[in-house]
Structure formats: C-alpha cells, structure tokens
Amino acid sequence: MYLADAAKEIGVSSITLKRWILSGKVSDVARDKNNWRVFNNGDIERIRNYHLQISEPAQITYCSEQPKHTIASFFSGIGGFDIGFEKAGFKVTVQCEIEPFCVSILNKHWPSIPKLSDIKEVKIDDIPTSTVWVGGFPCQDLSLARMGQRKGLRGSKSGLFYEFARLVGEGKPRVVVIENVAGLLSSHKGRDLGILISTLAELGYAVGWRTFNSKNFGVPQSRQRVYIVGCYRDERGPGQILFEPECSERDTEKGGSNGTKSKTPFQEIVGDTSGEGPVIQSIAYCLYATSARHTGTDWSRNYACYPNVGMVRRLIPSECEGVMAFPKNWTLPGNHILEGDDLDSARYHALGNAVTPPVAEWIANKVMSYLNGEN
C-alpha cells in the first residue's frame, strides 16, 4: 500500500508519517518503479509499534529527570521554543507574551507557569533566575514578506528587541537564544544585524548566528530562520552550540542526463492521485502570518488538491499544526473565546509566527551539552 493508506492503517496523518521517515525516526521503505513508497505488512507493524510507543502517556514526552537548567521565555507565542527546550530537559520558569490568543494557548499547556505581558513594563525582579533566556522578537518590520519599506529595528514591533536587551543587561543570563526571519540579515543592508550583535557584545556576550531550514529537521516545511546565540563572557560558546565539529556527507539527488534537473522537494506529493484525494506537497512552502482577509497564511501556494474532483482548498489549521510540527489541536484554546473564521484566523496567525519545535529542540540539546561542559 502507498503512504496515504499506510498512514490511515497506522492511525496518523500522511504528513506525520512522511515527517517520521524524513527525520529518520522510522526507517524508510521500498519504492516502486515510479519512486512511490510501498509499505508492506512488516512496515505497517514496525511503524505502528513506534507510534504506540511515543503516544503513551502523552503527545509530548518531556525529560523525566529533575531539570537542573532553566529557561525564561520571551515573545513566547504558542510555545515553540518552550516545547523544544522542555524536551531537551530544561524547565520553563516564566513566559512573556502580550497577544491574548497566544496567552490562552500558553495557559492551556503551561497553566502553572507565571505569565508576563507587555515586555516594556517588565522589571528584572519579575523574572526568576534562569540559565537561558530565549525569544523570537517580532519580525514584522524585518520580514521580506512585508509589503513596502522595512523599518527594521526602528519599527515599533521589531524595535522591542531593545526592551529584551535592557532586561538581558540587567539579568545577565548565561546563554541567550534569539530567533527571527532571515530578513534580519539584510535589513538596512546588514546594519540591523550589526546593531543587534554590538548591543549584546556591549552587555558582555560573545555572539554567533546561523540560518536553519526547518525541512532539514524533519519538519514538512521549507522555513528558513536565523538563530542567534549569545554566551556571557565565553567567546567559544556560540560556535560550540551552533556548529558541528565535523560535516557529514551531503545527501543530494543527482541530476538526470542531458542536463535535466532533479525534482525539487516541492514537487514530491503525498496522496493517491488516482483516488478521491486529497493530494498535498510533501514539503510545504513557508507559512507566515498576514493580515490578509481571514486566511492568515499564504494558502495560494500551500493547498490540498482533489484532482479527480477538480477542487483545491487551503490547509485547515490542524494541518498547519502538522506542517509546523506541533501536536494536533495544539492551537485550540482551552476556553473557546473565538469561533468560526475568527478562531481559524487566530490559529493561522499564531502558527505563522511560531518557532518550529524540532529546531528549538536541536538547539536546546546543544545548549544543554555546552552548559554541562560536553564538547
């Protein structure tokens, strides 16, 4: 059977099954002459056992040991950073978020964690002592997806970085991890990145940065983001966290003969084109938050197609959760303060602004190794 039927047999979505295979969490299966994955009964049983193993007792399995390192979460959104760091063994001490919908999601999943609202009003005494501070300050004034001239760090949204820096200067956490759109690298011809680095350097931090694409971490989405790491008075720290000591062999598909190009990841599909559908791309284009109408996402490029019916539709919020590698129904608030299109729009918007948890987890594991003195 093919991927869609195999996913149904196992009890997961096609996107989830494809993500497990791409990330190496389950071994790949044989392919037919058309390069479609073909699952036999042994494959189904093997993957079903994996699914049952990770499904109990909860969707997210956190480290069972008592955490000795803690994080303070700023611009928390719906908790992408927090999920990743908790899975790596950190304990969240506080979350700072001003958007009411995002706060409702944080309260659903972290009901006992103290919440702070407007970062401009936060005082250092409000923040519990924490080893690591994480945050993705607003990207609206930096994003290339924004229409018109970018204001960069001069903007009212992205300029909130300075409020974060104010608190960092007073709190002096050992490690700072910042996420933002890749547009930060080119904003005002690189001057905004220079300002950010020099600001942290003046506070005593050695700084490094690296761009990661979520699709390389088992996430079914091409999503490039820049991650900036600052280590207090340790010039070796950022390199140890962000970079590997050795490069592995590249896994690239060879081009065909006579100059024909290999397929891009966006051309590979999930679903049976001969059935009733839906058929979707195996790797989605980047989801981002917008203010356009009620969609909140660029669904004109990411869609589900029903080829035998002649219909297309935008991805629904629960599918976007899968595309962002969040657990299903993560963005359904405990108390439904919104309904219908308003609720969908809030979920799209929150997901488009989020940090993908697998990338956060990778960085968190590297931070943990650094803090524990491991090479």
**C-beta of residue 1 within 8 angstroms of C-beta of residue 38:** yes
**C-beta of residue 204 within 8 angstroms of C-beta of residue 162:** no
φ, ψ for residue 81, nearest 5 deg: -60, -45
**C-beta of residue 180 within 8 angstroms of C-beta of residue 137:** yes
CB neighbour list of residue 1: distance below 8 Å, 6 or more residues apart: 9, 38, 39, 44
φ, ψ for residue 314, nearest 5 deg: -75, 160
Residue 278: cis peptide before it, omega within 30 degrees of 0: yes
Q: Is 102 a catalytic residue?
A: no
Nearest to 349 by CA among 300, 293, 290, 303: 290
Which sign, positive or negative, has the C-alpha torsion 336, 339, 345, 347?
A: positive
Rounded Cα distance between 27 and 142, Å, is 39
Tokens coding 93: 């001490």
Under the phi-then-psi rule, with left for phi > 0, alpha for psi from -120 to 50, and beta for the rest, what region is 57? alpha
Amino acid letter at 185?
A: L
**C-beta of residue 105 within 8 angstroms of C-beta of residue 79:** yes
Catalytic residue among 96, 139, 231, 305: 139
Residue numbers annotated as active site: 139
